[in-house]
Structure 1
């Protein structure tokens, strides 16, 4: 007999539980506590205790803490069964085996309806076995009736994928059994370079001359320092446009398209004003209609603006291609 499948779209809010946000907050606290335990264990060599069992019994009294709150951290599969009822008993070892195999991507909560009749009524259990799930405090019907391992595995895969896609919840493999890699301590921030910090501070305070000199000092010691290169390009750009009348500069660029100096100033103003693509296009056009020293000056200026934005920016990549076509 094939199980009666139910999709993630059937998820409904559990009316009798706390808000999912509260559950998520507690789960985050639990994760942080385990990370601290892992870090402490790395310091003293002690073993890190697992987060909890992969398979456990649950009753009405512990439903909120054991199932609902936990569901903010990992999908919780609920297996409703009863001793002496053959179809349900036959499914139990299949689910337990899969819980161990999936090793934390979901956890299995066993619910004996004979001792949890009120919970069974609240969740409208009509047949055995019945398998539901709880994800982020929401109830997700999976199937009713007997099911083979292949069918169950397919439903579990869909549950896990849906939990991550819809709610951002993905059980951590090995976290509960202790078989996974220990949590890594937060990376240690590298020490702040005093010279670079002084350059940044000068730039933030508007001391452009001081910032330019400070960045140049850093680059004299470390010519490949990307952060210093970007800072220097920004400081030099701001210094070039300081005191420039934007309206007069743009009028001059429009009236004298062959005037390289006018185009460079207008491009600087474009970039400072946030019109990055306009600035790049202006200088690419200038490169295309000039030659000799003027062309080289426009090209070099454009490259300095690339430094301000960053080499990986898609606008820079696009402009580099346009520049290459004009040059070659």
Structure 2
């Protein structure tokens, strides 16, 4: 199959984008600054190529795409052109050193994702940047063409979305298991209790800060993650005029702020499916920054309800269908 180019010129006017060399220099400086300031720790080169399935797509692709472009390689074991293309993409992922992450999706095991992206033949390569899907090319393209496409993708991600990539530990051996993380200090009973007391007192800002204090040391603390989402939600709805918000949302479906506020009120009022449906519809009818804002608010409300809740599972599927 001959490769078919799918230009990204419709996504952003590349004539208005600064030179790629300047963009790369800025990205390198941003990564260096983040490392000096104790930002996100560097990852092993082996973390730049990952296998993704339907269950992990939200976490491994959509969420990750808010910090680094994710290039998706749709492949299958029986596909000979895939066996030519995949090693090239894997090598380039390491060479680009954190400017993109390569997600490999086996179409035989993940046909729903294949359908959602509209893949007609493999190999097919897409990118997801800040939650937005971009078709790149189809077929086993020459390496020079792949490099040109990746350079364009990186440039768009940096200039349009402010994504400078992730830091990579150059001294780590590819495939080597990372050292066990240092166990965070704890326990956090006092901080969590302080957050609960702040919530009970209506001090939502205080509760937010208390939960954030826990998450600074223990980013995976599920109680603090849930509490933070709840405190932020209650803080947002605290000063709202419910009648005015619902009137504005009903009168103007394109008013993104009104839809977000109405969804918050729906959730606080126990109308979970209404809240999710409203935001999925807002994502469907919007584009650009508005779409991303609505999508991120929906993900926040998922945190409040809980990932295992069947209403969240259903809404995640609806969101994926709208996005892809």
Task: Report the TM-score, using the length of structure 1 for normalisation.
Answer: 0.42
Q: Which structure's CA Rg is the greater one?
A: 1
Task: Report the TM-score, using the length of structure 2 for normalisation.
Answer: 0.43
